[in-house]
Amino acid sequence: MKIQLIRNATLWLEYAGLNILVDPMLMDTESMPAFPNTPNDLRNPRVSLPDIEPDILNPDLLLVTHTHPDHWDEAAARQLRKDIPLICQPGDEHIFIKAGFTNVTPVDVQHEHQSIQLARTSGQHGTGEIGERMGNVSGFVLEAAGEPVTYIAGDTIWCEEPAEAIKTYNPEVIVVNAGGARFLQGDPITMDGPDVAAVKRAAPSAHLIAVHMDAINHCMTTRADLAAYLASEQLDGEVFIPQDGESLEFGGKA
């Protein structure tokens, strides 16, 4: 498989012969206000889309973990072809149908798309009242012959749900949304340094990729912060922290 970070949580996967676009945020730089009640008023996204080879407007499959605007935006809804198969979590399908998408599949537990088996996982997008207000979020596990079992965790902190997903599916590649996103009150709503370290220790043999940094105003953990923290925990070099546009390739099981 080949996985490319586009920006924030937007990924391009080449997996089992399909091109998969994950959580497309395609808006121009600074075209959205800062998220409210956050530590600064910087407009989003903080960086532009990188120059990349794939035509990300023409994937074979769309995978959307949830519909917060840094994972699904008006630019994606407007620019992407409406007949692309789109997989989402239950309860979000009406958003895509209203936007004109004609091949929408909400996945409750499992779904098969061509040669790929997908399983939906859950998580906690924060703690306490803030976590409840953030609503439902999902991750997805992908499996296919000859490809590594790949777990895209989505917007979750380290908690029981991703720990259980790792135990259940034994993924060979894990993508986590780091950045330590937060509001003025409460704990982080995405993984920070300690959370990413906990994932690595729970899945020491997996290739761990940390994304969702340096693009959104309330993501307070930068790539440099994460690398420094991991080094302090003797995990230097154990986690991939790609730059926007960077690609990684991993082999799978025979």
pTM: 0.96
- Phi, psi (5° rounding) for residue 198? -65, -40
Interatomic CA distance for residues 13 and 149, integer angstroms: 13
* pLDDT for position 135: 66
- Pair type for strands 110-113 and 10-15: unpaired
Interatomic CA distance for residues 39 and 36, integer angstroms: 9
Interatomic CA distance for residues 203 and 149, integer angstroms: 13
* pLDDT for position 132: 72
* pLDDT for position 252: 74
Residues 47-72 as b/e (b if ≥16 CB within 10 A, e otherwise) read eebeebeeebeebbbbbbbbbbbbbb
Q: Are 134 and 189 in contact (CB under 8 A)?
A: yes
Interatomic CA distance for residues 219 and 186, integer angstroms: 14
Tokens matching residue 129 = 């009242």
* pLDDT for position 253: 64
List the chain pLDDT tens, one digit each, 254 residues: 999 999 999 999 999 999 999 999 999 999 999 999 998 999 999 999 999 999 999 999 999 999 999 999 999 999 999 999 999 999 999 999 999 999 999 999 999 999 999 999 999 886 777 667 776 889 999 999 999 999 999 999 999 999 999 999 999 999 999 999 999 888 999 999 999 999 999 999 999 999 999 999 999 999 999 999 999 999 999 999 999 999 999 987 65
* pLDDT for position 131: 65
* pLDDT for position 133: 72
* pLDDT for position 80: 98
